[in-house]
Amino acid sequence: MLGSQSVRGVDLMDGEEVLHVQQPRWRDYFWSTTIGIVGIAAFGLGLLVLWWVWRQKRAKRLVITNERVIQSYTTRKSSETTEYPIRNIDQLETSGERRSWIGSKKGTIAFSAGGGGERVELTGLRDYDEMATTIREQQRRIAAQ
């Protein structure tokens, strides 16, 4: 018998005595606790992956102007920009997939840049055919000048 001591969350009436108190043990919740811990870890890992994807997306940029193709990559500590004048682009090629599993068509634009023949591949591009057509149109415009 526990007598007339108070029990957390229970108000005893006058003359009432506590005879037995039971509270579940942690091991009674082993599987629930395990699933919760694994779930929190998986959620945290998922957030970490999403953060990494977001940073990768923000870090890369490709800009095509009427004079240049500009590729930039920015990190927290540095920034790198490579420019290719459209008039120096030779052997422009495209390749791509029909459809990816997420439903967007992506491809690659490859070309030689400058007299040295440096081979450049711009990968993972949406609308790569349209971008290559734009470069070709700008090359024709520059050649006609």
| DSSP structure class, residue 10 | B
30 pLDDT exceeds 80?
yes
Query: For residue 3, what pLDDT band results from cuts at 50, 70 and 90?
Result: low
pLDDT of residue 127: 86
Instruction: Specify the pairing of strand 106-113 against strand 68-74.
Output: unpaired
Residue 20 has pLDDT above 80, yes or no: yes
3-state SS, residue 119: strand
Per-residue pLDDT averaged across 21-39, rounded? 88
Distance, CA of 49 to CA of 145 (rounded, Å): 49
pTM to 2 decimal places: 0.63
Cβ within 8 Å of residue 57, ≥6 positions away:
none
pLDDT digits (tens, 9 = 90+) for 45-98: 999 999 999 888 888 889 999 999 999 988 888 889 989 999 999 889 999 876
Q: Residue 138's CB: how many other CB atoms inside 10 A?
A: 19
Where do we find the tokens 């791509």? 96
The dihedrals phi and psi of 141, each to the nearest 5 degrees, come to -65, -45
Task: Give the CATH number of domain 60-144.
Answer: 2.30.29
